[in-house]
Structure 1
Amino acid sequence: MRLALIVIGLVLLVAGLWVVFGHGGYQQTDTLVQLGPAKLTATHDKAFPQWLGIAGIVVGALLALGGIFKKG
């Protein structure tokens, strides 16, 4: 159980840092016009919100520290 907490915490910590430094993002595709079987789409690059990265850092650090200092 300790090892699982440490590993999950470190993964969340690294993912949070990745998002905070601006590397995390996704693509969203919108349909602009559809006429029968033909459609015109646009793809936008979106970044994850900054608060999501900060939350990942905090939760990841708490889990990792909880795993390190857990007794038993």
Structure 2
Amino acid sequence: MRILLFIVGILLLVGGLWVVFGHGSYTQTDTVFQLGSAKLTATHDKAVPQWLGISGIVVGALLVLGGLFSKR
């Protein structure tokens, strides 16, 4: 159980740091206009919100500490 907490905590910590330093983004495609089978779409690159990265860092650090200091 300790090693699982430690691994998940490290993954969340690294993912949170990735987002905070500006590398976390995703692509969103919107349909602008559609007439029959013809479709005009627009693709946007959007950044993952900073609060999500910060919360990943906090939760990841708590899980790592819980894995390190667990008695079992």
TM-score by length of 1: 0.99
**How many residue pairs align between the two structures?**
72
Percent identity of the aligned residues?
74
Please, what is the CA RMSD of the aligned residues? 0.3
> What CA distance in whole angstroms lies between the structure 2 residues aligned with 1:32 and 1:70?
53
> What CA distance in whole angstroms lies between the structure 2 residues aligned with 1:62 and 1:32?
44
Amino acid at match of 1:7: I
Matches within 5 A, 1:30-45: 30-45=30-45
Following TM superposition, the consecutive aligned residue runs of length 4 or more in structure 1 with deviations greater than 4 angstroms are none
Match of 1:65 in 2: 65
- Report deviation, 1:66: 0.3
> What CA distance in whole angstroms lies between the structure 2 residues aligned with 1:35 and 1:48?
32
TM-score by length of 2: 0.99
Structure 1 spans left out of the alignment, 5+ residues: none
- Report deviation, 1:10: 0.2
